[in-house]
């Protein structure tokens, strides 16, 4: 079966001739459909750069990124927004919800922009918020919600267009440990029920232990990877050991 994401010889450089900084140094990577992948590494290792290129927010200097067999590095600028809307969802650390809109309108926004039928918007918004436990909050505004509720609303918004892949950048970064755990349970539910592929950047070993597989980046290359055996606490310990070997901290659980 073809991987949902296939990356070949991916290079990203910043700067001009004479002072070029190479953030990614020829990354090769495959992600299977329905996988929950974590990307870890010390600060400056290139993990956010990699996520931004995979999710079409940034462009590669060279190499190829295929999502569902389509070479995203070759998509014209005018067509990229359409490609994103049909295939990709985003979850950010700071939620990116619009304060002047209700949670219902925030979640519905991608479908509204896509000119979806009102009945479909209503149905999809209600289905997702019931599954993720924030149905009661639909008519509230973001400032009336806890961090965990806001992030669940952000996940609903990411899922509302039925994306094949959801990219998450430090999604638990602004949450306390209980809200972070609830959020990760939501991710597992999403993966199980919708078959969505999840790709998440995190610096937290406890968060990464919920993934099926974790890739470790160092100095712009993949320096190792680990697969979960299904036991979160064992996987957490292995991730901590790997980070210690790499010289990065993994945030001990308290």
Q: What is the CATH number of the domain that holds 133?
A: 3.40.50.300
pLDDT reported for residue 253: 43
Assigned domain for 16 exists: no
| Residues of the chain falling short of pLDDT 70 | 248-254
State how far the alpha carbon of 250 is from the alpha carbons of 54, 127, 209, 213, in Å.
24, 35, 11, 16
201 contacts 47 by C-beta, under 8 angstroms = yes
pLDDT reported for residue 250: 55
Three-state DSSP class for residue 117? coil
pTM, to two decimals: 0.90
pLDDT reported for residue 248: 55
Number of neighbours of residue 234 by Cβ within 10 angstroms:
12
Helix runs in 66-198, H state only: 77-87, 103-113, 118-131, 147-159, 177-194
Q: Phi first, then psi: what are they for 66, rounded to 5°?
A: -110, 130
pLDDT in tens, 163-220: 999 999 999 988 888 989 988 998 998 899 889 999 999 999 999 999 999 999 999 9
Q: Which domain holds residue 54?
A: 32-61+74-246
Assigned domain for 11 exists: no
Assigned domain for 21 exists: no
Assigned domain for 27 exists: no
53 contacts 33 by C-beta, under 8 angstroms = no
Count: domains in the chain:
1
Assigned domain for 252 exists: no
Containing H/E element for 23?
A: strand 21-31
């Amino acid at each position: 079966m073809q991987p949902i994401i296939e990356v070949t010889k991916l290079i990203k450089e910043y700067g001009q001739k004479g002072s070029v900084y190479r953030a990614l140094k020829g990354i090769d990577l495959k992600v299977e459909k329905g996988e929950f992948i974590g990307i870890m590494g010390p600060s400056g290792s290139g993990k956010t750069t990699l996520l931004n290129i995979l999710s079409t927010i940034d462009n590669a200097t060279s190499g190829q990124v295929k999502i569902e067999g389509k070479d995203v590095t070759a998509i014209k600028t005018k067509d990229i927004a359409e490609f994103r809307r049909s295939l990709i969802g985003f979850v950010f650390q700071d939620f990116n919800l619009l304060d002047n809109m209700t949670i219902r309108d925030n979640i519905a926004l991608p479908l509204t922009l896509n000119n979806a039928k009102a009945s479909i918007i209503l149905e999809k918004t209600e289905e997702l918020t019931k599954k993720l436990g924030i149905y009661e909050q639909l008519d509230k505004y973001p400032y009336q919600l806890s961090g965990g509720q806001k992030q669940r609303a952000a996940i609903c918004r990411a899922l509302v267009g039925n994306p094949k892949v959801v990219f998450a950048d430090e999604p638990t970064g602004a949450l306390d440990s209980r809200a972070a755990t609830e959020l990760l349970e939501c991710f597992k539910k999403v993966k199980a029920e919708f078959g969505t592929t999840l790709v998440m950047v995190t610096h937290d070993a406890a968060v990464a232990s919920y993934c099926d597989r974790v890739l470790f980046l160092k100095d712009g290359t993949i320096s190792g990877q680990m697969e979960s055996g299904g036991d979160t606490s064992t996987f957490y310990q292995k991730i901590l050991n790997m980070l210690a070997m790499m010289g990065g901290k993994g945030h001990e659980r308290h």
